[in-house]
Every structure is written in C-alpha cells, then in structure tokens.
Amino acid sequence: MQNITILGSTGSIGTSTLDVVARHPEKFKIVALTANSQTDLLFRQCQQFKPDYAVMLDATAAAALRQRVRDAGLATEILSGAAALEQVVVFPHVDTVMAAIVGAAGLRPTLAAAHAGKKILLANKETLVMAGNVFMDALHASGAVLLPIDSEHNAIFQALPRGYNGDLAGNGVRRILLTASGGPFRNTPLSELHNVTPEQACAHPNWVMGRKISVDSASMMNKGLEVIEAHWLFNASADDIQVVIHPQSVIHSLVEYVDGSVLAQLGNPDMRTPIAYGLAYPERIDAGVAPLDLFKVATMNFVAPDFERFPCLSLAYQALRVAGTAPAVLNAANEVAVAAFLDNQIAFLHIPRVIAAVLDALPVSKITCLDDVLVADAEARRTAQQQIQKSSR
C-alpha cells in the first residue's frame, strides 16, 4: 500500500490523480489532500477518500470545511496555512507526494518533500524553473525519487534508457524533442492577437487545464518553462532541447539517439496516463484512459515554432542560457503578467513585453539557497507590477 499526499487536490492534476487512485484502492491510500479555497470540492474528496488530513491555505475556508467535516462525522483533521502544506508532506508514513500546486506557492512544500526523501511526482513546473539547483541538491542529499508528471517530461523519461544517469552523450542521446500543441493561436493571424480575450486564450484545443496554465499554453510560455524543467530533469543544455509543434498532441515527446533512432511515447491527451505511470513506477496500471486509435488519428503534423508568434518561448530559452536567478525572474514576471491579462488589465501581447522588461531591469545573481530564489521572485513581482501600471496609464 502506497500512502500519498496530494498538494493541490482540487486542480486538474489533483482530480485526475484521485481518479486513478480510486481505480486501485488496494494499492493506494490518501493521507492528505490540500487546496487553496475550493471548500465544496475538497469536502466531497474528503467524503470519498477519507484522508487523515485536509489542508486549506485560506483560514476562513478551512474553518468552513472543518465544520462540514465534523457535521458529516468524518475523522479527517483540518489544517490551514502554508506551514501545514509542508507538515503533511513530511509525515514518516507518507511515501509519495503529488506536487500539483500551480505557481510559486508549490515551491516550499515540494522542497520539503525532497528534503524528507519522499517519492515526488512533480507536476509543479515552478519548483525546477525557480530553484532547480536547490531542489536537485536536496534530492541527491536525501535520496528522494523524482518522477516527472508533465506529459512531455514523462514521455522523455519513458523514452530514455532505464536508469538514465544524466549523461546524454554517454547514453547515446543526440537531443530531446519536446512536443507542443501550439495552443489555440498557432494559426491565428498575428494582427488578430491584439484583441485576444482571456476566454479565447483559455480555450485549449486538446487539454482541459486551469486558466493560468491555459494562458501559458497559448503564449507558449508553458513550453518555455518545460524547456527549463527538461534541463534540470535530464541534465540537458538549451541546445540539447528542440521544441516541436505537434498539433494533435498524440506524441508527447521524443528522444533522438546518435544511431538515428528516435523513440517516442504516444497516447491520447489525458493526464491520467503519466499520473498512473508515476504512481505505479516501475509497474504499469490501468489509468482509465481510452486506447489510442491510430486509424482515427490518421495524420500527425510537425512544425518548427515561430519565435515571432511566440516570444515567450524565446524569452525562456534566453533565461535558461543566462541561468542564475533569470529563470525565477522569468517565472515571477510571467505569473504577474498572466494574472493581469486574466483580470483584463493588459492585452495578451503585453505579457511577453512585461516579462522582457523585467528581465532587462533586474540584475542576475547566483543561487546558493532558497532565500536567493525568493528574493529574486519578490523583486521580479514588484517590477512586473510597475511595468503593468506604466502600460495601463
């Protein structure tokens, strides 16, 4: 029996994880579920999975949940606040942590899981983007196990040799091919992007995701963050990682070897596949995903990314090459800019302009500890807000 804590259980990754867990009650036990403020959904999850603990970041929401749990006669203990997120990942009886909190808020509890030597199913991009070296050092020191859950990185993990040791050349790998759907605007005339609405940006053609990550997919910043993730996960340089737009989202990524072989992982666009792979690794279990019908797919297309259309992707490559605090600054500026876009404060095309201005404005420093990351993150957020205020005048 594998004991699991899910960070972000009410999001799309969290609910998909619980769907897989529910299919295999003999294999998995939920110890803790966490959410920000979605009381109704977290209460229903507590009813179904009966976790020992449930955490809500919002104290008012936690109080409301505590009363509902008590009235329902459930034994689940309700905790609140950021410190409680770290508490429920380090319990000795927790084996596995699904890190699915979107944004910088997931950094501290995911790092706590790494220090505690847990099996970490990583769906939080920001942990590696912001603090890659700090997180990887913690993993190596504690002996924690890291399994990527992003469909692309999970595909790469599956296509690399079993027991891959971080040496691309030594394992005969020429490069990593990271696929991208291209989002909802891959064929939209550039002149029409000036008037894009948040609703249009969130209407992803293949995947059902939260609003922030959907906007990131539309701008391809999501793919840029994944390039930085791939650098840390597989010890690959920027030049070793090629983004390939594949609109059908059937091939989730590929690994090209020096002998000319290219290994790809295929499947329907359903996050339950990589989640099930991570939960059961090295075994495979039913994920509830429909089999891939190649006859129905019929055709697969591949296109090189247009950096004029997707400047956020170019900015991410730039930040990876600069290194240090640059990726953390990139991530923070993007989070602020996307929130402003979703709040109708700035236009869609202003997102990369805000990010570029913040990268230009702030000096790059080395990262030696988590505090270096948090300082850079805070300064980038302040600078991004200033840029947004300027653009709205």
Q: What is the pLDDT of residues 35-88, one digit of tens each?
A: 988 999 999 999 999 999 999 998 999 999 999 999 999 999 999 999 999 999
Q: Per-residue pLDDT averaged across 291-320, rounded?
A: 94
**Tell me, what's the pLDDT at 199?**
83
Q: Per-residue pLDDT averaged across 164-177, rounded?
A: 95
| 3.60.10.10, 3.30.450.370, 1.10.940.10, 3.40.50.720: CATH of 2-148 | 3.40.50.720
Question: Do you find a cis peptide bond into 274, omega within 30 degrees of 0?
Answer: no
Question: Where in the chain are the domains?
Answer: 2-148, 156-267+291-297, 323-392
In the sheet that holds 77-80, the strands lie side by side as: 77-80, 53-56, 28-35, 2-7, 96-99, 119-122, 145-148
Entry pTM: 0.91
Classify residue 164 by its DSSP letter: -
Angle at CA of residue 113, ends 108 and 115, nearest 5° = 95
- Most distant CA pair in the chain, distance: 64
Q: Per-residue pLDDT averaged across 326-339, rounded?
A: 95
Position 205 pLDDT exceeds 70: no
Position 207 pLDDT exceeds 80: no
Q: What is the pLDDT of residues 344-358, one digit of tens each?
A: 999 999 999 999 999
Position 210 pLDDT exceeds 90: no
39 contact partners, CB below 8 Å, separation of at least 6: 56, 61, 64, 65, 68
| 3.60.15.10, 1.10.1740.10, 3.20.20.100, 1.10.10.10: CATH of 323-392 | 1.10.1740.10
Domains 2-148 and 323-392 share a fold: no
Confidence of residue 390 (pLDDT cuts 50, 70, 90): confident
In the sheet that holds 262-266, the strands lie side by side as: 241-245, 173-180, 251-257, 262-266
CA distances (Å), 160 to each of 163, 166, 170, 285, 330, in order? 8, 10, 12, 20, 29
